[in-house]
Amino acid sequence: MELSSPEGKPVPVSVSIGGVIFDRPVGYSYLYQEADNRLYEAKARGRNRVVVRNTAPVAAEPDRVSA
């Protein structure tokens, strides 16, 4: 994405995001540190990246019953 300055000069914009999903209560400091680690991981992988660490268990698909 590119924006323009008030003088009309192009201003490039990129975004890197780090996030964390926990399945249990954790302290703010730990949560912040983990999200910060993911942010730096996203930056290391290149621009315009989102890196999320998910510690929550993945829900299994429900059993399918055929009639």
- State pLDDT tens for residues 10-34: 998 889 999 998 888 888 898 899 9
Q: How many CA atoms lie within 13 A of 43 on its CB side?
A: 6
pTM for the full model?
0.65
CB 43 within 8 A of CB 14: no
Residue 36 has pLDDT above 50, yes or no: yes
* Cβ contact 53:21 at 8 Å: yes
In this model, does residue 2 exceed pLDDT 60?
A: yes
Torsion of CA 28, 29, 31, 32, to 10 degrees: 110
Q: Do the Cβ atoms of 35 and 17 come closer than 8 Å?
A: no
φ, ψ for residue 65, nearest 5 deg:
-115, 125
